[in-house]
Amino acid sequence: MVTRRTKNMLTAVTLVVAAAAIVVLWGCSKQPSGAEVSSTTPPPEGEQSGPGTAPAGQEIVLDVYVPCAFADAATEIAALFEKANPGVRVNRTVENVSTLKPRIANGAKPDVFMCIGDREVIDLEAKGLVDSKRDFCFTSIVLVVPQANPAKIQTIKDLAKPEVKTIALAADDVSAGYYARKVLEENGLWDKVQKKLVRPKFPVELLKLASQGKVQASLAYAACFRAEGGDQKQTAAKIKLITDFLDKYCQSVACSAAVIKGCSNPEQAKAFLDFLTRPECQEIFAKSGFMKLDDPKCFTPAGKEKASASKPSA
């Protein structure tokens, strides 16, 4: 038989247990969720959670298409980005830009496309394939010749001379070819040199053709000519600079990165684009021969005429 005293004891125990449960539940609701970190206990230096950080306990693989010219820079930057964004791994696909752009146009959806130049991104944007984009460094086009300079080229005007038989130029659908053609047209040379043109499939071949003496002149990216290391430096040692179109023709070529529409990780991709503009990344691009965003430069937005040939201040 259950006495009144026993009933009272059971009621008291029930109330204590209920009160304890309420305290526990209230305490859980106050705890930070996901990757949030208490402001009173910051994470160790180098392990801060960036805007592209993966959810706790998950790994995000960020797929980034990288042109050959950015191969070394992208390796360093990927390591920095991964350190700043725990749980994110940057998977780099390094190919010629002339291979990467058609791949995206045909349906590939990397998270990020880093482009040397901007025409490729502009073309993809026109096809509705770009979610967002931003410029992250600059380069220019240079006129170079073999060290021996057998055709005795001194200026861009000399390309029209009969003794100049071969000129390497990238295809019109890549930035290197597009901007080189613009300068040739501005100087009234396009119609005069077309029969002399050697059009390699990949822009990376432009300097090699000149260094090997297979052409008498080449119009190529300045960054590839000025890189501080690797095969590009060895190639540059075998050629001679005639003209940098940045100096005389006030031509800067923006290098654009794009978040591809429909990609798997748009939030982390946008964080990566922002990361490319950080000072430490800008210095890495400078080592690879590119101009930083805050370097003095001439720049004509796509589709607009030059307003002035003077360089803007930094």
Which stretches in the chain have pLDDT values below 70?
Answer: 1-57, 228-232, 299-314
Other C-beta atoms lying within 10 Å of the C-beta of residue 138: 23
> Tell me, which fold does domain 60-139+253-287 have in CATH?
D-Maltodextrin-Binding Protein; domain 2 (3.40.190)
pLDDT digits (tens, 9 = 90+) for 144-190: 999 999 999 999 999 999 999 999 999 999 999 999 999 999 999 99
Q: What is the pLDDT of residue 128?
A: 98
Sheet holding 253-260, edge to edge: 88-95, 60-67, 112-114, 253-260, 130-139
- Helix and strand numbers, DSSP H then E, in the chain: 12, 10
Q: What topology does CATH give the domain 141-249? A: D-Maltodextrin-Binding Protein; domain 2 (3.40.190)
Average pLDDT for the chain = 81
Tens digits of residue pLDDT in 214-248: 999 999 999 877 876 666 677 778 899 999 998 88
Nearest to 144 by CA among 67, 251, 235: 235
> From CA 265, how far away is CA 180, in angstroms rounded?
35
pLDDT of 247: 84
Half-sphere exposure of residue 181, counting CA atoms within 13 Å on the CB side? Answer: 15
What's the pLDDT score for residue 157?
97
Q: Provide the residue ranges of all domains of the chain, joining segments of one domain with +.
A: 60-139+253-287, 141-249
pTM of the model: 0.76
- The reply to whether 141-249 shares the fold of 60-139+253-287 is yes
Is residue 37 within 8 Å of 72, Cβ to Cβ?
no
Q: What are phi and psi of 242, to 5 degrees?
A: -100, -50
For strands 217-221 and 197-198, give the pairing. unpaired
Q: Which two tokens stand for residue 143?
A: 């006129």
